[in-house]
Amino acid sequence: MALDASGIPYMIIGGQAVLLHGEPRLTRDIDITLGITTEKLDLVLALIGEIGLKPLVEPNDFTLQTMVLPCQHFESPIRVDFIFSFSPYERQAMERVCLVEMEGVKVKFASAEDLLIHKVFAGRPRDMEDVKSILIKNPGMDFPYIRKWLNELSEATGELFGSRFESVLKEIS
């Protein structure tokens, strides 16, 4: 059973999405945001076993505390991190996914705008480099949408995500 067949909304974010929307770079894992809360952890645990993944942590402790379920493929070093979330922003982002056909399967990637929002939110140096490459590769982005959500995230957390974004925009101008 695949994520789509399970009815769980999802989108690929992180380095794999940067390969689509930014400058290709090495990434060691696949980050997948799930449009559900940890209340459905048992469903996800059943699903990951069906698709050949095993948890790297004790899910009922780590995942309930961090909202992240790190997994690894049984037969390879491929790591997949599932991030549980069901905020109004995540719901909207999952409605805006980009479908990419891979070996006959349509895979849901975060839109360029939503990937940029995730990267600004994370704020690490590598993420901010990704923001630059996303902006350069996608000049026609929906800036009002980006600013709206960065401002809402700023209000909710007290961090200045909008200012972080604007300073990157100035750097590449």
The pTM score is 0.91
- Residue labelled with tokens 């939503």: 114
Question: Which token pair is 33?
Answer: 């945001």
Please write the tens of the pLDDT for every residue from 39-72: 999 999 999 999 999 999 999 899 999 999 999 9
Please write the tens of the pLDDT for every residue from 150-172: 999 999 999 999 999 999 999 99
Which one-letter DSSP state was computed for residue 2? -
Question: How far is it, in rounded angstroms, from Cα 110 to Cα 119?
Answer: 11
- Identify whether the C-beta of residue 89 lies closer than 8 Å to the C-beta of residue 153: yes
